[in-house]
Amino acid sequence: ASGPARAVILTAKCLGFDLILNYVDLFVGVVMILDFLILIAHDSVPSLDDIGFYLWVSRAFCTYLVNKYS
């Protein structure tokens, strides 16, 4: 996982909840599944789906999680 992705995992743990992590191999072609394409509007990973609210800029994940759940 990238540095920003690890920061999101640590932030979630500090807030007291677990993330559902889906690891994707970008070189296998699994990313072409429709549900995944909806989630990653700009073909970028990591992506965050918070009950229908989507983020795909990893630097914004921690700010969003802290503002919403702390």
Question: Rounded to an integer, what distance in angstroms lies between the CA atom of residue 51 and that of residue 28?
Answer: 27
pLDDT at residue 12, as a whole number: 93
Q: Are 55 and 64 in contact (CB under 8 A)?
A: yes
Q: What is the pLDDT, as a whole number, of residue 56?
A: 80
Q: Which of residues 67 and 22 earns the better pLDDT score?
A: 67
What region, left, alpha or beta, does residue 52 occupy, with left being phi > 0 and alpha being psi -120 to 50 degrees? Answer: left
- pLDDT tens for 12-66 read 999 998 888 877 776 776 555 666 666 666 666 778 888 888 888 888 999 999 9
pTM for the model: 0.72
CATH number of 3-69: 3.40.30.10
Query: Would you state the structure tokens that stand for residue 38, as one six-digit string?
Result: 């909806």
> What is the pLDDT, as a whole number, of residue 10?
93
At 17, which amino acid appears? F
